[in-house]
Amino acid sequence: MKFARLLAVVRKELVQLARDRLTFAMIVGIPTLQLLLFGFAINLDIRHLPAAVLDQANTAHSRELVAELASSQVLDFRYRLNAPQQIDEQMRRGTINAAIVIPPDFETRLARPDRPAWQVVVDGSDQSVQAAARQLGSFPLATLGYGSAESPPGAQAVPGVEIVNLYNPQRRAPVNTVPGLIGVILAMTMVIFTAMAIVRERERGNMEMLIATPLSPFELTIGKVLPYIGIGLIQVTLILLLGEFVFGVPVRGSILDVYLAALVYIGAMLTLGVFISTLANSQFQAMQMAFFTFLPQILLSGFMFPYDGMPRPAQWLAEVFPLTHFLRLIRGIMLREAHLGEMWHEIAALAVFITVMLAIALRRFRKTLD
């Protein structure tokens, strides 16, 4: 490997990048758009679920219960119903996600707490709605006058359990999503950019000319990939700034640790891109393959669904993905003030990924056209 040749490729790539408006727009556009989408639109906090009330008791206590539930903002009571069948109707039509049923003998049930005093009917077809409504069961109805000695309403709920949310007390989604988005956005852009950039040389016929020169495929690949490390770090900076100023997501740990973790993770994504480039014959194929690696990562890494809730085989698979390890790193550093040294095993996992990918890619490098 010769440094001058490597440098020539890097320079050429930078000039081409600066001229390629589409790629340039993607570098800035994708992170911004994704961050705003995930931050604002996709709100994983369940609030203001459309709901209905069927109050067959209509006593002071029942009205108090409804008012109490309404003030929690989880449910948004839009309908007052008169008959149980109406719940079914409304729910099928999709106008409500939940309904509160207070039976005529509510007062009697309150006095004899061996039977549930009231009922929450939930649209079980949406998991997140289900989870939110289940929490209603343990809703502490303080004003109804139940001390800890008595069982609260809501049948199986454990009394007196208070859920303390340590790192996200207001249960605001952006706090979890912004650090995760750094990983997701890099997983998307880095792999696509590098795989496409390398395949482009083959597709446009530049490779045929380059093979007849002393430039080695290794020099070409490394030279083409190096600028993307810088681009990845620019994206990280952009997301951190937007996160801080738009969503108020702080970096609690060391900023240096954030960048170091990102650097290792970018390395993993770039080697994945290089590996894909050795498989793909066209830029379109490279893009498809990049998406193929992107989807399972976003689904299984713990970004969308909690890692601990997944079945074992899915967890084993998730361990292979760089995004899984980076999520643990970045959430640890940004939210729990963890040090990189405490999470060295996650860095080690990424290093193993890089080594394996690079080894496979190097074996697959084509020295000739056939």
Partner 1 sequence: MNAHDNGAVITARGLTKRFGDLVAVDGLDLDVRRAEVHGFLGPNGSGKSTTIRMLCGLLAPSAGDIRVLGHPLPRDAETVKRSIGYMTQKFSLYDDLSVHENLEFLAAVHGLRGAQARRRLDAMLERYRLGDLRRQLAGTMSGGQKQRLALAGAVMHEPELLLLDEPTSAVDPQSRRDFWDALFDLAEAGTTLLVSTHYMDEAERCHRLAILDHGRLVADGSPQELMANLPGSTLQVQCAETRRVQRALAAETHVLGVAQIGSSLRVLTDRRDGIDWLRERVRAIDASALVETVAANLEDVFVAATRAHGQSTEDAT
Residues in the site for partner 1, rule: CB under 8 A?
2, 4-5, 7-9, 11-12, 15-16, 19-20, 204-206, 208-215, 367-370
Alpha carbon distance 263, 269 (integer Å): 10
Nearer to partner 1, 80 or 204 (CB): 204
**Nearest-CA neighbor of 127 among 46, 192, 48, 50?**
46
For residue 101, is it left (φ>0), alpha (ψ between -120 and 50) or beta? beta
Q: What is the DSSP string of 64-81?
A: HHHHHHHHTSSEEEEEE-
For residue 171, is it left (φ>0), alpha (ψ between -120 and 50) or beta? left
Nearer to partner 1, 12 or 63 (CB): 12
Residue 219: CB minimum distance to partner 1, A: 9
Residue 217: CB minimum distance to partner 1, A: 12
Residue 307: CB minimum distance to partner 1, A: 43
Residue 98: CB minimum distance to partner 1, A: 57
What would you report as the CA-atom Rg of the chain, rounded to the nearest whole angstrom? 27
**Tally of helices (H runs) and strands (E runs) in the chain:** 14, 4
Residue 188: CB minimum distance to partner 1, A: 24
Residue 27: CB minimum distance to partner 1, A: 16
Residue 223: CB minimum distance to partner 1, A: 10
> How many Cβ atoms sit within 10 Å of the Cβ of residue 240?
21
Alpha carbon distance 318, 313 (integer Å): 9
Nearer to partner 1, 24 or 167 (CB): 24
Nearer to partner 1, 28 or 209 (CB): 209
**Nearest-CA neighbor of 222 among 23, 67, 51, 9?**
9
Nearer to partner 1, 22 or 166 (CB): 22
Residue 9: CB minimum distance to partner 1, A: 8
Alpha carbon distance 201, 27 (integer Å): 20
Report the amino acid identity of residue 295: L
Nearer to partner 1, 222 or 233 (CB): 222
Alpha carbon distance 13, 358 (integer Å): 21
Q: What is the DSSP string of 100-123?
A: EEE-TTHHHHHHSTTS-S-EEEE-
Nearer to partner 1, 20 or 126 (CB): 20
Nearer to partner 1, 58 or 206 (CB): 206
> How many Cβ atoms sit within 10 Å of the Cβ of residue 106?
21
Nearer to partner 1, 176 or 221 (CB): 221
For residue 125, give Cα distances in angstroms to 97, 98, 136, 303: 9, 11, 17, 21
Residue 362: CB minimum distance to partner 1, A: 17
